[in-house]
A = this chain, B = another copy of it.
Amino acid sequence: MSSIRDVARLAGVSPATVSRVINGTANVSPERRDQVLRAISQTGFVPNEVARSLFKKSSKSIGLIIPNIRNPFFTQLAQVVDAVARQYGHHFLLCNVGTDLDEERTALQMLAALNTDGVVIASSNEEIQADLSRYKMPIVVIDALFETPDVNAYIYCDFYRGGQLAAQHLTECGCRSIVCIRGPQNLYSARARYQGYRDFCRAHGIQERVADCEYDFYSGLEAAERLLDRYPNTDGIIACNDLVAISIYKILHKRRISVPKQIQLIGFDDIALASVVSPELTTIHQPIREMGIQATKLILEPPIPPKSGQQHILPVSLVPRETTCWKKDA
């Protein structure tokens, strides 16, 4: 790779002048400009971003940390963050860290060490809090809420309301024995959804029925088997997310239990898959796109909010489809 010196030599100017024409950072006389441009295309010169970044202390990039690249919720989010970052002329760095706290820490450290201009983090470990307050780059926590105010913003949906809506919808659809498959209770997103369900039950004198599950396919398959054995007269299931709902459906289908006739089913997230799968999945919609846009803009568009943990809570909504028995005219 040729360097700025090579170009300068070929163009008969100083490296500073080459830098100026590349960056349009100062006026350069037309003739020299042309010489430089010619030299650049002759050598195929591409400025070394690393050197640039070292000086500028910014790499014109934004990082996104997610726990599972196999969950479409996160890839839809990633796609949006990527697209918005690009609009702002920034690169996008995706770190897929799983549920391991150390991996998450390492990713954060790497993004900091890379002079990333900010990071959006969808964490699956509340213990990451202490780390978050150590960095001075902008950090936006998405799809979660922690206690530390030392981040620039929290962006998440009204999970509690989502849990209520799901319980209410199933009840209105005639379910009398609803099981809530809760996500990992160490996560705010899962806790709040469950609490929404729980409070709805309490307010309406409904008996609580609970099963536990992770956020992925495989865990969903297991949870479904357990649930059916434990609560044989179930007629409604609230899944912790759409992936799990799809797994549940699979088990019901295998056991020849008709959905929604015998058991009604509702998911959470409204990932693209939810409406492509057959039958189409009734679910609680999260505005993934809006969350991604807001998070990215908060970091890339001044003024960047101070590290005081401001909260942006987005609304969720019910999307009735084919796995519940609602009346169109209701």
Pairs A–B under 8 Å by Cβ, sample size 5: A49-B110, A50-B59, A54-B54, A69-B78, A247-B276
Interface hits, A30-75 → B, CB 8 Å: 44, 46-51, 53-54, 59, 69-70, 72, 75
Interface hits, A241-256 → B, CB 8 Å: 246-247, 249-250, 253-254
Copies of this chain held together in the complex: 2
Is A82's beta carbon under 8 Å from chain B? yes
Q: Which residue of B lies closest to A68 (CB)?
A: B79
Is A176's beta carbon under 8 Å from chain B? no
> Given known contacts A47-B113, A79-B96, A82-B96, what 9 new A-B pairs fall within 8 Å (CB)?
A1-B112, A46-B109, A50-B53, A51-B54, A78-B96, A93-B94, A94-B94, A250-B276, A253-B279
Expressed in whole angstroms, the minimum distance between the Cβ of A71 and any Cβ of chain B is 9
Cβ-defined contact, B113 with A50, below 8 A: yes
Is A308's beta carbon under 8 Å from chain B? no
Q: Which residue of B lies closest to A93 (CB)?
A: B93
Expressed in whole angstroms, the minimum distance between the Cβ of A275 and any Cβ of chain B is 9
Expressed in whole angstroms, the minimum distance between the Cβ of A272 and any Cβ of chain B is 7
Cβ-defined contact, A46 with B113, below 8 A: yes
Residues of chain B with a CB closer than 8 A to A246's CB: 276-277
Residues of chain B with a CB closer than 8 A to A46's CB: 109, 112-113
Residues of chain B with a CB closer than 8 A to A78's CB: 69, 96
CA distance A53 to B50 in the complex (A): 7
Is A278's beta carbon under 8 Å from chain B? yes
CA distance A96 to B96 in the complex (A): 14
Is A294's beta carbon under 8 Å from chain B? no
